Amino acid sequence: MATTFDVLFIGAGPGGYVGAIRAAQLGLSAAAIEMDKPGGVCVNVGCIPTKALLHSAHSANLVRHAKELGITTGDVTTDYGVAMKRSRRVADQNSRGVEYLLKKNKVELVRGKATLLPGKKVKVSGGTSGEVELTATKAIVIGTGSRAKDLPQIGLTYDGTKVISSTEALFLEKAPKTMAIVGAGAVGAEFADIFNAFGTEVTLLEVLPRILPVEDAEMSDVVAKAFKKRGIAVHAGAGIQGAKAEADGVSIVWAAGGKTETRKVDVVLVAAGRAPNVEGFGLEAVGVRLTERGFIEVDGRMQTNVPGYYAIGDVAGPPLLAHKGSREGVVAAEAIAGLSPHAIDYTNVPGATYCSPEVASVGFTEEQCKERGLEYVVGRFPFSANGRARCQGETDGLVKIIRGKRHGEILGAHIAGEHATEMIHELVVARANEFTVEEIEFAIHAHPTLSEAVGEAALDSLGRVIHI
């Protein structure tokens, strides 16, 4: 194995492996150092296995209503263990795919724990090659990702059995009878959907006034109503006062709406956010600076305060999304290669939550438009008025487009409904290219499709909606 490369990527997650491949495409010799499986959290214990489980959950709920479609089935039973094993196969296949892509592009995959040394050097230990020292002639790119946060201050410290993170949830052999989920962002909402479908009595707790708090309020409302209809106990504005693990479960106490409630559950899943992995690999040895929030400080080309050291992905700050990290990997690689990469517009990074109904968004929420003093007009179109949604029995939700009042630019776009995460990209492309709502409407949308709702929402923002 070579020990000198143009660029070293620490971490082979969505940022690191994509950045390393882009560096190789540009003629740089590159190595990716990974202490676990290639693909990082996303591929192995995040996005991919979670979405496999969500597909199982969606399928279970669809079968339960098959009679409405003219299909008669027997009693529907579920087995979380079987679904979990399928999700692991999917994750492993994707991880092997990442390894193949690195090999195909002649990126050296180095197994082990990386420790930064002065002079653009990295010590790799604990891997199959023993301890080795690698040198970068041009740059080192740090993509060490993030980890789930627990809440020891209120008695919720991970123990792997009764108080768990999303990682442990992905390996359960069976769905617990009862579960409280603390945190109703994307992760909490997705696992509430999954375990509800597999028969768990789910209590979803969110300290902020509504679930999915970073999304537009109308989208949050759609999901909250759908969850309650399916029997998920949703409590927003719920301040956790304490929790205590006992022999037969966890007692959790929260206050909401002026009253205090206590519930004992088999398992508490903490989905209260993630912390960047910035400790234990030598940042201080090379002088890389952190922000007040504990992320690595970077500029628009992903370079840190120390020349020749870059940071990408979760460790470089929010939003903590795989696709954002991948784009940052590309930007870093192109900057290192001497190009002038297209700057990332962080207001145009799409958000996606894959529970049922899904939520997807780009740009500003209506609340953010108000905070910024922007003059805007809102256009909406409900899926209940969309022919394809009626055909599929998927009429919950809406498309919402927020346009600038004067020029018609797309300030924000929000979709709640099945397949929202696929539909949002029309609006991401439009916003990236500074299209107006008129130009969205000029594009003929095929009939019958869910995407017609996008065109109708654009028309509604202009006061010309047709189908409502």
Cis upstream peptide for 276 (omega within 30°): no
pLDDT confidence of 351, banded at 50, 70, 90?
Answer: very high
Is residue 238 within 8 Å of residue 254, measured between CB atoms?
yes
| Superfamily of chain region 4-146+275-346 | FAD/NAD(P)-binding domain (3.50.50.60)
The answer to whether 4-146+275-346 and 150-272 have equal CATH topology is yes
pLDDT confidence of 127, banded at 50, 70, 90?
Answer: confident
Biggest alpha carbon distance in the chain? 69
* CATH placement of domain 357-461: 3.30.390.30
pLDDT in the model for residue 98: 98
For residue range 76-94, list pLDDT tens digits in order.
Answer: 999 999 999 999 999 999 9
pLDDT in the model for residue 219: 98
Name the residue ranges covered by the structural domains of the chain.
Answer: 4-146+275-346, 150-272, 357-461
DSSP 3-state of 226: helix
Q: Kindly state the helix (H) or strand (E) to which residue 8 belongs, with its residue range.
A: strand 4-10
- CATH class entry, domain 150-272: alpha beta
Residues in the chain: 468
CA-nearest of 103, 89, 96, 10 to 52 is 89
pLDDT confidence of 130, banded at 50, 70, 90?
Answer: confident
**DSSP assignment of 54-117:** HHHHHHHHHHHTGGGGT---------HHHHHHHHHHHHHHHHHHHHHHHHHTTPEEEESEEEEE
Q: Which residue has the tokens 């991948």?
A: 326
Q: What percentage of the chain exceeds 70 in pLDDT? A: 100
Residue 110 scores a pLDDT above 80: yes
pLDDT confidence of 113, banded at 50, 70, 90?
Answer: very high
Q: What is the mean pLDDT of the chain?
A: 97
Q: Radius of gyration of the chain from Cα atoms? A: 23
For residue range 394-405, list pLDDT tens digits in order.
Answer: 999 999 999 999
Q: How far apart are CA 233 and CA 267, in angstroms?
A: 15
306 CB-contact burial (10 Å; exposed 0-12 / middle 13-18 / buried 19+)? middle
Mean pLDDT of 274-300: 97
Mean pLDDT of 386-399: 97
Catalytic center residues:
447
CA-nearest of 443, 446, 449 to 418 is 449
Residue 376 structure tokens: 């805007």
Residue 274 scores a pLDDT above 90: yes
DSSP 3-state of 196: helix
pTM here is 0.96
Residue 96 structure tokens: 């092997």
pLDDT confidence of 340, banded at 50, 70, 90?
Answer: very high
pLDDT in the model for residue 136: 98
For residue range 173-232, list pLDDT tens digits in order.
Answer: 999 999 999 999 999 999 999 999 999 999 999 999 999 999 999 999 999 999 999 999
